[in-house]
Structures are given as structure tokens and as C-alpha cells.
Chains A and B, each alone.
Chain A
Amino acid sequence: MKRNFGPTYVAPQALWLTVFFAAPLLIIVAYSFLQKGLYGGVEVVFSTQAWVDIANPTLLKVTVKTLWVSLAATLIIILLALPCGYSIARSKNQALRLFLVIVPFWTNFLVRIYAWISILGNEGFVNQALRFLGFRAEGFQFLYNQGAVIFVLVYMYLPYAILPLFSTIDKFDFTLLEAARDLGSTKMQSYIKIMLPNIKGGVITAVLFTFIPIFGAYAVPLLIGGKDSYMLGNVIADQLTKTRNWPLASAISMSMTLLTAIAVFLFAFKKPKEQQIVKDIDPLSLPNGKTTGFLHRAPGQGKKKPSAKGAA
């Protein structure tokens, strides 16, 4: 008889997750149900005040803004990362190009944000260059607005999307694109109808790798954005350090975690409805008029559930 070593193998990982993931999360949950201390911290008295305070219109506005900034940045990142990943996968010197994608990581996150400040600032390189070329002397205000925040977020998180997209596109069989072209589709149609459904797993991973950290962004909106670019991460920080309302900060964090979890679940794990139809009913035996639903289903919806790796 073989002994089952499963639990032994899992133990280190289980310990790791408990100590560094579950425990902090539980502490945050606990804090959100306590009373706020006078100078920060908490008093160990049960209270639901934080969960009452959380329902205020300002916070809702910031939440909505955080959502749309994250979605916009993620969308731009995916749209940029797809052609990048594709060109790296098809290039002859993949190693060099991948290396170039990773190089920025050698520099500290904050340093890179400050680099953008010195590039785009009122006295930055770009403005100096424009002034030199004879544009207006007072310069342009590139920073401290929503656009600048999205721009720098895109810059920061682009590699996190390029890498997973590259690795799935690299495994993609490019003769499928030729087959699609041969069968009458345009270049664009072959990418959208054939390549995209087959690299769906990579796209989902890329979205998760970028959306989740951007949703919790703190430093970029703080340093690059103006007062109106505040995101939830900044609100939480303010609650911790300025307003000193730790329970509220915890409640907001918890809500964000829940929101992200729900979004991830909806996005990555929900089966498309149509797939059920394909599975349960033989599409060809449907009466003629009713085949439309099946026949018009977009490519890829019949695909298996993508890997859940991105959710980590």
C-alpha cells in the first residue's frame, strides 16, 4: 500500500497562506467590527459603526471613479499588450524582447513614478523640449489629472499583461490564422474570431494581473493625480493616517476585497450561458427557426473554463 503524502506536501503552502493571507484578512474583518480608537488603532468593543459610515455618497463616488479608472487602464493595457505579446511571440529574438519588457522592474516602483514626474512635470523634459521648439512659454500641465494617472498606471502594469499574453500566444498555432484567411476572413476577422478565443486564458490572466493591483492603486494617484484623482487606496490610507478611523479603513478594504472577488468570479469563472445550450441540447436537432441562438454564438464561448491561475 502506498501512503498518501498529499497533506504533507500541501502543508508548507497551507501554512504560508494561513500566516500571510488568511490571518491578516481575518484581522481586517475583525477590526471593521470594532470601535475606533481616539488616536488611531481600535478599542476592543463590538461596533457596526464602520459599516454604517461606509454607506456615504463621497465614498460611493470614489468607488465608481476607482472602478472606471481601473477598467479604462486595464482595457488600454490589454489593447496594447495584445500586439506586443503577438510580436514578441512571432519574433526571432524572443529572449531579448522579453528581457526588454522586464528591464523596468529593476528600478524601484516609486523611482519610476518620480521619473515620470520629471519627464511630464511643468519643468520636465517634455515641456522643456516643447518650449525649445517654440511652444508656449508657460508650458503644458500634463500631470495631476485623471489622464496622467491612467497613463502612468498603464505604463506600470503593462508588463504584467504582456507576459501572460506572450506565453499563451507563443503556444498558439499560427497556421490557424492562415486557415482562417484561406477560408475567406480578413486579417482582423482571423485575429478576433480565431486567435482571441484560443488565447482567452491568457487574456483573462492578463486582465486579473492588471485590474486587481490597479483597483488597489495608491502611489500613482497620490503622486501623479490631483485631488480629484483620489482612488479607494488613497481613501483607505487617509482613514489610517489622517482621519485615524481604522475600523472604517478596514471596512473599505473588506468591501474592496469582496468587490474584486465578485468581479473575478463573474469574469473568470462564470460559464457563458450559451455553453449550456450546446451541452444540453443537440443544436442540429433544434427546429429550423430556433437555431439562431446557437448558430450566432460567438467563437470561443464553447471553450473550456480558463485556468484559474490569475486569481491568485
Chain B
Amino acid sequence: MKGSDVTVSNVSKFFGSFAALKDVSLEIKKGEFYSLLGPSGCGKTTLLRAIAGFEDPDSGLILIDGTDVSGLSPDKRHCNTVFQSYALFPHLTVFENVAFPLRIKKTPVRLIKDLVMKHLSLVQLESHADKKPSQLSGGQKQRVAIARALINEPSVLLLDEPLSALDAKLRQHMLMELDSIHDKVGITFIYVTHDQQEALSVSDRIAVMNAGLVLQVGTPQQIYENPATEFVARFIGETNIFKGKVLSREGTLNVIGIDGYGTLLVDDETPVEVGDTIVATIRPEKIRISNDQPVGDELNVVKGIVEEPIYSGFQTKYVVRVEGGERLTIFRQHANWSEGIPDIEWKDDVCLSFSARDLVIVEKSPG
């Protein structure tokens, strides 16, 4: 496998007295597509810059392939960056932008043309070689930046929100292209984004960050299905949060008293004690909605009134106010016509049912 593994070990970084990174530790494997996901200002760029060599951590170590890189300037590290703002050299053509690293390395002139054209074809820009960056569209600039960052054949590619300046459609398209480029070059990608959709769809693993801390590291499924904290649950996709107390338990089945609902059953491996205060979450698509009778034989059934049905083509999102005053979000996929699911309208009385297994305990504290 090409690419390097990157180890970030207990890295902290302060700007004045403000801690941008607090004791961050990550193990990134060779060839992985690894995302750093978190809200604006959580320290993603700072971490990426520390790996690239633009920021010196105040404490902790960064190892690339097991070698401590502290003290190595960016030009000496075997990683290249795709900058958020592209950072193309405006005075050079596309060809010369991509050739820049080779010229610096004094690659023989006869090799340069082939190498550059090869990388331009990787990003499908062969026909734009002699344009200036100012003559390119956003997506094309982005591709030049990628080709330029790849031409030195780095073992790690750092991407700082590379798609944030593009419109939604193009972003989807470029994301798939990035994924296929990753498959082709096979090196380690460290991908910074604040867009959970992006991170979920292409990453091998994701580190979710907030306020300088890494909250959870895991595969997209782990992050989505088993969020480690309430913050992660709320940040990744939409979710419903319940706060309550453990009333009794039987094996992994907990009876939780939720303020306002009465009781819910939660089937979760998390070891809790009777009396603990817990936060549990369930994803909106795991709740089934029906007019009067609960569907199936789920353990949890709640009644409520539809406050907002929001139709979006492939699904409808319902905001339901349940007895006790809380609002829950439910997604219902639109299956084919023959299923004959009755229409649920605004102000309808509905029945919500969901499995005890789909409720996940994300936080607990001894009561």
C-alpha cells in the first residue's frame, strides 16, 4: 500500500491563551480516507496545518510513518495540501502551476511535460493547460489545486474544505471524483470538512471534533449509529434526544423514565445503574409513523399530533408534538405506490413506534 500513516499524539496548540487544539490524538492508517469533521472554529484547519508543518504544536508529537516531523519545514514533509482558497499562483498558467513543484525540484525539462499532462488528465483538465487561473471556474480551479498537490507524489494529501466554495451539485460530483482519485493514487487522504454528508459518504474513518477536542473516531456507520456524545449525535444528521433517569433494568433492557413521556425502553450495551441520569438518541428514520394503530410490535409507542409535514420528494419529514410537549422528528421514505400507506396530514393524530434497540444511550452520569 502506498501512502504513509500519520500519528498525532497528545497535540495541543495555543493562540495566546486560547486553546485551538486540546490534547488531540489520532492514528491515521496508510491509504486511509480520513475526515476531520467539526463545526467552524473547532480547530480542524489548525490540526491540518500542524501536520503540514505550518503550525508548531505547543506540546505533543506528530509522526509520519513513525518519524517525528517536528522541526521539519513544510517543504521537507512528504505531504501536500489542497488549500481552502485553492491558492493557485495567479501569474502562472494551469500547466505552470502544476509544474511548479517539479521546477523547484529541478526535474529534467523533458520529463515535466509528460508528468504534468498525466496529472492534468487525472483531473480532466488537459485542454485547459494554458489558461490562467482567473479564466477557470471554481470546480476547475479546485482540480488544478488537486493536480498540483499530487504531482510531487506525496504520501499524504491534506485537503482543507476543498469543496466548500462550490455549489451543491458540483460538490457532489467533485466528491465522487476525489474518491476515485483516492482509489487511483492510493495515498493517505486527510480531509477537513464541516459537512457531515460529505464526510459520511466518502470517508473510511471520521474524527469528530469540537472546540479543540476529538470527541469520537470511527467509521461513518459507527459515528452515525453509535454517536459517542450528544454533540456528535446532534452534529451528524438529525436526531431526537431524550433525557431521563434509569428506573429499572433487566439485562441490557433499561426502562427509562423520560420527563414528559412516561417511560421508554432502551436496549443498549452501555452499562448503566438504576438511578443514573442518561441521554438517549434515536435517528428520525428509525421511528415509524402511522395514523391510529402502531405499526409492528415495537416496544416503544408514543402518540402525538403532526405539527409540520415537510415534503422533499424522496421522503417526508414530520415534526410531531407528542403528549407531554416534546417535539420529535420523523423521516418517512416514500416507497412505491402499491404500499398504500395512508396520507398523514397537518394536525393529524399519529402513532409513533420504535424499537428499543434503535435508541442509543450517548451520555450517562450517576444520578
Residues of A within 8 A of B (CB): 173, 175-176, 178-186, 189, 193-194, 197-198, 278, 282-284, 288, 291-292, 295-296, 299-300, 302-303
What total count of A-B pairs have CB within 8 Å?
87
Which listed residue (A175, A194, A288) contacts B85, Cβ 8 A?
A175
Q: How far is the CA of A288 from the CA of B293 in the complex (A)?
A: 77
Instruction: Determine how close the nearest CB of chain A comes to the CB of B240; give it in whole angstroms.
Output: 41
What 0/1 pattern do residues 77 to 114 of B give for CB contact below 8 A with A? Answer: 00011010101111111011001110011000110110
- Given A184-B75, A197-B91, 6 extra CB contacts under 8 A: A173-B85, A176-B90, A178-B83, A181-B73, A183-B152, A184-B101
B152 with A184: CB separation less than 8 A:
yes
Instruction: Determine how close the nearest CB of chain A comes to the CB of B135; give it in whole angstroms.
Output: 12
CB-defined contacts of B113 to chain A, threshold 8 Å:
284, 288, 291, 295
B89 with A176: CB separation less than 8 A:
yes
Of the listed residues A184, A193, A295, the one surrounded by the most CB atoms of chain B closer than 10 A to its CB is: A184
In this assembly, does B255 line the interface, its C-beta being within 8 Å of a C-beta of chain A? no
B83 with A185: CB separation less than 8 A:
no
Instruction: Determine how close the nearest CB of chain B comes to the CB of A171; give it in whole angstroms.
Output: 12
Beyond A178-B54, A182-B81, is A173–B101 a contact (Cβ under 8 Å)?
Answer: no
Q: How far is the CA of A253 from the CA of B270 in the complex (A)?
A: 93
CB-defined contacts of B112 to chain A, threshold 8 Å:
295
Beyond A278-B130, A283-B95, A288-B113, is A175–B83 a contact (Cβ under 8 Å)?
Answer: yes
Instruction: Determine how close the nearest CB of chain A comes to the CB of B93; give it in whole angstroms.
Output: 7
CB-defined contacts of A189 to chain B, threshold 8 Å:
104
B109 with A292: CB separation less than 8 A:
yes
CB-defined contacts of B149 to chain A, threshold 8 Å:
182-183
CB-defined contacts of B80 to chain A, threshold 8 Å:
182-183
CB-defined contacts of A184 to chain B, threshold 8 Å:
75, 101, 104-105, 152
B92 with A185: CB separation less than 8 A:
no
Q: How far is the CA of A176 from the CA of B75 in the complex (A)?
A: 14
Instruction: Determine how close the nearest CB of chain B comes to the CB of A304; give it in whole angstroms.
Output: 9
CB-defined contacts of A194 to chain B, threshold 8 Å:
89
Beyond A179-B81, A182-B80, A184-B152, is A198–B91 a contact (Cβ under 8 Å)?
Answer: yes
Q: How far is the CA of A124 from the CA of B78 in the complex (A)?
A: 57
Of the listed residues A173, A179, A299, the one surrounded by the most CB atoms of chain B closer than 10 A to its CB is: A179
8 shortest interchain CB distances as A-B pairs: A179-B87, A183-B101, A197-B91, A181-B74, A175-B87, A184-B104, A185-B104, A303-B91
Q: How far is the CA of A184 from the CA of B99 in the complex (A)?
A: 12
Closest to A200 in B: B91
CB-defined contacts of B99 to chain A, threshold 8 Å:
295
B91 with A180: CB separation less than 8 A:
no
In this assembly, does B61 line the interface, its C-beta being within 8 Å of a C-beta of chain A? no
In this assembly, does B320 line the interface, its C-beta being within 8 Å of a C-beta of chain A? no
CB-defined contacts of B132 to chain A, threshold 8 Å:
302
Q: How far is the CA of A303 from the CA of B152 in the complex (A)?
A: 26
B130 with A283: CB separation less than 8 A:
yes
Beyond A176-B87, A182-B80, is A282–B130 a contact (Cβ under 8 Å)?
Answer: yes
A186 with B129: CB separation less than 8 A:
no
A300 with B91: CB separation less than 8 A:
yes
Q: How far is the CA of A282 from the CA of B282 in the complex (A)?
A: 60
CB-defined contacts of A278 to chain B, threshold 8 Å:
93, 130
In this assembly, does B217 line the interface, its C-beta being within 8 Å of a C-beta of chain A? no
Instruction: Determine how close the nearest CB of chain A comes to the CB of B94; give it in whole angstroms.
Output: 11
Instruction: Determine how close the nearest CB of chain A comes to the CB of B83; give it in whole angstroms.
Output: 6
Beyond A189-B104, A282-B130, A283-B130, is A198–B74 a contact (Cβ under 8 Å)?
Answer: no
CB-defined contacts of B92 to chain A, threshold 8 Å:
299, 302
Instruction: Determine how close the nearest CB of chain A comes to the CB of B43; give it in whole angstroms.
Output: 18
Q: How far is the CA of A197 from the CA of B91 in the complex (A)?
A: 7
CB-defined contacts of B100 to chain A, threshold 8 Å:
180, 183, 185, 193
CB-defined contacts of B130 to chain A, threshold 8 Å:
278, 282-284
Q: How far is the CA of A292 from the CA of B52 in the complex (A)?
A: 33
Instruction: Determine how close the nearest CB of chain B comes to the CB of A184; give it in whole angstroms.
Output: 5
Within 8 A of A (CB), among B98-152: 99-101, 104-105, 109-110, 112-113, 117, 129-130, 132, 148-149, 152
CB-defined contacts of B91 to chain A, threshold 8 Å:
197-198, 299-300, 302-303
Closest to B90 in A: A198
